[in-house]
Amino acid sequence: MLNDMTYPRIDITGGPGRPPGRTVRRPFLVIALLAFAAFIVVPWLASFATDWLWFQEIHFESVFLKSLVARATLFVATGAVAFAFLYGNARWATRGSGIPAVFVSHTGARVDFSAIIPRLLLLGSLLAAFFMAVIASASWMTILMALNGTAVGETDPMLGRDVGFYLFRLPAISGVLSSLVVLTVLSLISSALLYVSRGQISRPTRSISADAPASRHLGALVILLLVVFAVQLWFVDASSLLYSSTGPLVGASYADVHASLPGIRLSAVAALIAVGLVAYGVVRQKLMWFGAMGFVGYAAVGLLFRGLFPAVEQKFVIAPNELARERVYLAQHIAATRRAWRLDSVGTRDLEGDVQLTMADIRDDAATIDNVRLWERDLLKQTFGQLQEIRTYYDFALVSDDRYTIDGRYRQVHISARELNPASLPTRNFINERLTFTHGMGIAMAPVNQVTTEGLPVLFIKDLPPVSTVSLKVTRPQIYYGQLTNSYVFVGTGQKEFDYPAGESNVSTNYTGRGGVPVGSFVRRLLYAWQLGSTDLLLSSYITGGARILYRRNISQRASAALPFLDFDSEPYLVLTDSGTLKWVLDAYTSSRYWPYSQPEPDGTNYLRNSVKVVIDAYDGTVDAYLVDPGDPIARTYASIFGGIFKPLSAMPADLRAHLRYPGDLFRMQTQLFATYHMLDPDAFYHREDQWQYPGVDKDTPNNTPYMRHIVMRLPGEANAEFIYMTPFTPRGKDNLAAWMAARMDGANYGKLVVYRFPKQSLVYGPRQIVNRINQETSISQQITLWDQKGSQVIRGELLVIPIRSSLIYVQPLYLRAEGGTIPELKRVVVAHENRVVMGETLEEGLNFLFGGGAAPRATLASAADTTSAAAPSTGASTGVADIAREAQQHYDRAITAQRAGDWATYGREIDQLGALLKRLAPRKP
């Protein structure tokens, strides 16, 4: 026998005169333990402590504790089960005579691994269990949702299960079964290799055979694997058909229901039959033969009934009659998508066609006209930056739209926070960045439709400290928490905080809010010094007993850390409350990928709700989460898991509720889907007979670009103006308008979606058609060309779609930026209705030209000076000196206006007429 032959023996377990491996391992073990403590344990403990103190500060301890307990439980439980399973199987495979020597053929030496292999098995099992435990602990929320999930009250049309099963339990079941497969396969491979090394699996003839202990052990693992496969097929694979994309829809199609589902059931049965064959093979000592027979049968059933048969049926039976076969399933897909994306609650109203607006209609809808947005947010941000940053270290991160009742009028305004940007400080050091320059200061607020004589925005709130020219007041302007506050600072220290500049001196302040974690004690300072990697915290004499550290000050990061199971809208917004304080509002989403039959987004999300509004105080950093959609099953599940972290919407202060906005990301996704899913008839949906799209504004704007605007307007049929989010639609491949959709935001109407449809038989010009008409107006194009020739940059603003009654007007502001300048100035406003286009210096002037009936021709001139000249041409009728002087003054004023606008053609014409009048005043020669 091979094992009886004599070979040189190499002892790798120790050296002469020393116990095998003992003195070699001890220093290595000590070093390994010290490294583990220094690089893993201590940083984890420091992170744990600082996280706990932070969650205590914001009073979200339940989130921290629940996640910690869930992670730790999953880690320990998964690690223990995985280790016991892996190591137990390995030890079972090595029971008895142990591991024989392993031979190295090219040297002829026999290396004895019998002592080291058990240690390798232990180490390998520990490592595998550790990685599986880490992966499992990351799924803590999946497990908690499975344990706390609530019923939805709706069932899927194929399997008849409550939708809550798919939202909450199916992901956990899938994860557990996948883990069992991994464990079983790893154990099967390792055990088989061990049995081969011991000679218990051999190939004496043509076939492979195993002795009885190996056969029983490996047979049990194979049986477990096949049982897990059968359960996966029955529950997971069958349920996955509800998200299939086999046919012309997402969800179970005709082929899935009539071919794939029976194939999955047959495969599950085949797996159980294979279990019987394996068990019989173990009893008959023919595991390999019967095991191979079972696996081949199982694979053949899967290949035939889950792969080939559905594909053949789809191609030769369903495809030639697809609509007839899929009609029922299309209806289920449409209904599920509308339900999952809340499109089933969209109201629909039909508008009259061919409505001719008059000046009376314009005046009757003054609330809409008075709030037409003439300033683009990006351009206004540049203007704010030039006029209101005051110092280089202040920045405006984002300009938002909102509405306020100002001096008794309902007004739409732009608002932006003046935040501190530490990267722009002239001197960056510990004292400046962490102790002195700790916060931003105030806001800039401008109405959307008012312009100064210089073409700049009117500012309702401006300067430092903030000065208000209207009924709104800012009483707490300091901004410690915002969008640019990405670093930590210390307050309550021995160093005065910079508040705002005042002439040649600076005004200082001390923080008096509730935010921050106390760091007065040496232990706290040591903890944060380690965590932040800053020795200045330990050495600075400014950090006194009352000092606190403010960190996680970026509002998006703060909200995500406090509520890690929610997703957030990309645009938070700032609210000025009635008391003069500043609050940030963030829209939070609950989402899922498991709503049956629903159309998913590119990231897989097929269910979305804006169920939570998160409010963060810009001064204190307090975090409040309000539940605005208690009917959302996912939000109810989160509330069940974490207790009282959600406050009812009724607990939100009324002045904050008045400024809630419909979230932009959700509205974008809903409008994209509604462009197709407004078609309820399966036949129309299949043929895409009435599919809509976003309107392209010009040739460079694709039709898939969202066109969404905030507007204050009076909706058709409503009594009062309100703040809405709106987007128009055009028919697919066409430029004329088909409909427009609005998300309402005020009062009891908050969250309601309504679509207004134009008659299909009428032509309503779309944005691209209006832009083409503007470009074709020679007076407008000549003015733009003239400006460009003088070195200035003409900026064409957004083309605004303004619904008035059952019709539309279009408004496009034109801005001028001087050569080398940075401040855009509003110079003209183009107004269009149906096939008429005019241009004026102001919106009111343009509307008067368009609907006033006689001040301007259809193609309005390049400037208001031309308009005045056309409306009141100079004549020779004035005979008195006073009349001539008055007329000369008018020509002079118009010439100066044209000169400032760069309209040199008008300037020259007015000067010529002024010269003619002056000649009339000159004394005649005798």
Number of neighbouring beta carbons within 10 Å of residue 189:
11
Distance CA 882, CA 521 (A): 85
Q: Encoding tokens for residue 601?
A: 């987004």
Residue 502's pLDDT is 86
**Which CA distances in Å does 700 have to 49, 96, 121, 334, 697?**
53, 78, 64, 33, 8
The per-residue pLDDT for range 768-804, each reduced to its tens digit, is 999 999 988 888 888 888 887 767 888 999 899 999 9
Distance CA 517, CA 551 (A): 9
DSSP assignment letter at 752 = -
Task: Respond yes or no on whether the N-terminal peptide bond of residue 465 is cis (omega within 30° of 0).
Answer: yes
| DSSP three-state, residue 331 | helix
Residue type, 672: Q
CB 575 within 8 A of CB 468: no
Number of neighbouring beta carbons within 10 Å of residue 758:
24
Residue 926's pLDDT is 42
CB 218 within 8 A of CB 189: no
Residue 870's pLDDT is 30
Q: Checking DSSP bridges between strand 753-757 and strand 201-202, what pairing results, if any?
A: unpaired
Residue type, 142: T
CB 783 within 8 A of CB 841: no
CA distance from start to end of the chain: 147
Distance CA 356, CA 848 (A): 15
CB 451 within 8 A of CB 374: yes
Helices and strands per DSSP (H, E), number in the chain = 31, 35
Q: Phi first, then psi: what are they for 813, rounded to 5°?
A: -80, 150
Q: Encoding tokens for residue 371?
A: 């709030």
Tell me how long the chain is. 926
Residue type, 509: T
Please enumerate in sequence order all residues whose Cβ is within 8 A of that of 902, keeping only pairs 6 or more positions apart, or say none: 786, 787, 790, 792, 816
Number of neighbouring beta carbons within 10 Å of residue 408:
7
Q: Phi first, then psi: what are they for 652, rounded to 5°?
A: -75, 135
Residue 921's pLDDT is 65
Number of neighbouring beta carbons within 10 Å of residue 292:
16
Q: Encoding tokens for residue 378?
A: 């990006």
Q: Which long-range CB contacts under 8 A does 267-270 form with residues at least 24 apart?
A: 267/233, 267/237, 267/298, 267/301, 267/302, 267/305, 267/306, 268/229, 268/230, 268/233, 268/234, 269/230, 270/297, 270/298, 270/301, 270/302
pLDDT below 50 — which residues of the chain?
1-24, 103-105, 854-879, 924-926
DSSP assignment letter at 459 = -
Q: Phi first, then psi: what are they for 372, rounded to 5°?
A: -65, 130
* Residue 259, CA atoms < 13 Å, CB-side half-sphere: 23
The per-residue pLDDT for range 252-285, each reduced to its tens digit, is 999 999 999 999 999 999 999 999 999 999 888 8
Distance CA 561, CA 908 (A): 65
The per-residue pLDDT for range 812-867, each reduced to its tens digit, is 999 998 877 788 999 999 999 988 899 999 999 999 999 875 444 444 333 333 33
| DSSP three-state, residue 167 | helix
The per-residue pLDDT for range 507-548, each reduced to its tens digit, is 999 999 999 999 999 999 999 999 999 999 999 999 999 999
Distance CA 603, CA 127 (A): 33
CB 254 within 8 A of CB 262: no
Distance CA 393, CA 397 (A): 12
CA-closest candidate to residue 723, choices 694, 685, 752: 752
Number of neighbouring beta carbons within 10 Å of residue 541:
8
Residue 876's pLDDT is 36
Q: Encoding tokens for residue 133?
A: 């435990």
The strand ranges marked E within 618-718 are 623-627, 646-648, 692-693, 709-713
Residue 330's pLDDT is 97
Distance CA 907, CA 918 (A): 16
Distance CA 292, CA 626 (A): 59
**Which CA distances in Å does 705 have to 112, 373, 482, 693, 700?**
70, 20, 29, 9, 11
**Which CA distances in Å does 692 have to 676, 728, 762?**
6, 10, 16
Residue 873's pLDDT is 35
Tokens 């997971």 identify what position?
A: 236
DSSP characters for 22-76?
HHHHHHHHHHHHHHHIIIIIHHHHHHHHHHHHHHHHHT-HHHHHHHHHHHHHHHH
CB 724 within 8 A of CB 680: no
Q: Encoding tokens for residue 793?
A: 């940059």
CB 526 within 8 A of CB 538: yes
